[in-house]
Chains A and B, each alone.
Chain A
Amino acid sequence: AQSVTQPDIHITVSEGASLELRCNYSYGATPYLFWYVQSPGQGLQLLLKYFSGDTLVQGIKGFEAEFKRSQSSFNLRKPSVHWSDAAEYFCAVLAPAGNKLTFGGGTRVLVKP
């Protein structure tokens, strides 16, 4: 069965510093990959997705993610964090021809002034 691991439960970063969130997946073939963000009390908003092609994908709010097949990873990055980026971030995978997204456990990001 496919699975998604986000090794970091919490990350604290200073405003203006760079951010990298890790995501590893386990699946026989390359799945479709997504990053979502969830602010407190809100639903999930799509940041970016990877289906195929260029392994570096750009998303909204200045985020990008890099797919590395050899490492089964899809890490999310942002060069300079803003206080409004404080939220919980979820990596998710969709099996080719599958019906449902499988989510990782999430990483909560705290931003220090």
Chain B
Amino acid sequence: DTGVSQNPRHKITKRGQNVTFRCDPISEHNRLYWYRQTLGQGPEFLTYFQNEAQLEKSRLLSDRFSAERPKGSFSTLEIQRTEQGDSAMYLCASSGGSYNSPLHFGNGTRLTVT
């Protein structure tokens, strides 16, 4: 169990640029989640995959955001035409077994949009 891995750890980009983050879940976990966390707040749900199927998306996930999980393994989160309001920590988590199994979180990708 090597844990959930997220890359990069930090990303600084200029407004209007596109960015992509990667998440490698724990290998046997079939569920994968993306959350966003702004300073002083709790994580907010963005989207959820079971294997390769994206089963739920938050209203927070505007059409500039897209997530994929090809082959049900790693996942990517892309933000197009970044805005300063996108600056946040993006957390990935995975779980296996039953639906109420605890989530295992990665250390996150901190995005700063200048």
**Shortest distance from the beta carbon of A80 to any chain B beta carbon, whole Å:** 25
Q: Is A45 in contact with chain B by the CB < 8 A criterion?
A: yes
Number of interface residues of B (CB under 8 A): 22
Do residues B43 and A45 form an inter-chain contact, with CB atoms below 8 A? no
- B residues less than 8 Å from A36 (CB atoms): 105
Given A100-B48, A106-B40: A43 and B100 within 8 A (CB)? no
Encode A97-111 as 1/0 by CB contact (under 8 A) with B. 111111111100000
- A residues less than 8 Å from B40 (CB atoms): 9, 105-106
Q: Which residues of A contact B (CB under 8 A)?
A: 4, 6, 9, 32, 34, 36, 41-46, 49, 51, 90, 92, 94, 96-106
Q: Which residues of B contact A (CB under 8 A)?
A: 4, 33, 40-45, 48, 55-56, 91, 93, 99-100, 102-108
